Amino acid sequence: MKILIVDDSSVLRDELRTHLEKGFDCIVSEAQDGKEGLALAKSNQYDLIITDFNMPVMSGIDMAKQIRQMENYNQIPIGMLTTESSPLMRETGKQVGIDFWIVKPVEMKKFVSLLPKVFDIRK
């Protein structure tokens, strides 16, 4: 399984990568903003994308919107791991194809344990 983490916090990316690699047989790629994440999505195929909302250069919402326009990403889950919690933001995410929305801070072990359920979202 290939997973893409897009977040401007290197600490969060490192923590998430560590927990994902302990919990799954996976290859994790990282990007620090939506523009970098989009470039990685264009040049690779991922089974799961986890992104932050607020990032410099390109937001997670803008990145997800562009990724969803790519035919090879119609069915893969995209999740938002963010401090944004308003219903309006969540609805915006849903409209661009965000499958799950989790508000930070989050206990990483609990988050990783929920991921197998995510793959049932788009099947």
Cα 91 to its chain centre, rounded Å, is 16
Within a domain: residue 69?
Answer: yes
Within a domain: residue 60?
Answer: yes
> Residues 38, 58: contact at Cβ < 8 Å?
yes
pLDDT of residue 120: 66
Within a domain: residue 52?
Answer: yes
**What pTM did the predictor assign?**
0.93
33's enclosing H/E stretch is: none
Which residue numbers in the chain have pLDDT < 50? 123
Within a domain: residue 123?
Answer: no
Total domains in the chain come to 1
Domain residues for the domain of 40 are 2-115
Within a domain: residue 121?
Answer: no
pLDDT of residue 123: 43
Kindly report the CATH number assigned to the domain that includes residue 92.
Answer: 3.40.50.2300
- In whole angstroms, what is the distance from residue 30 CA to residue 103 CA? 20
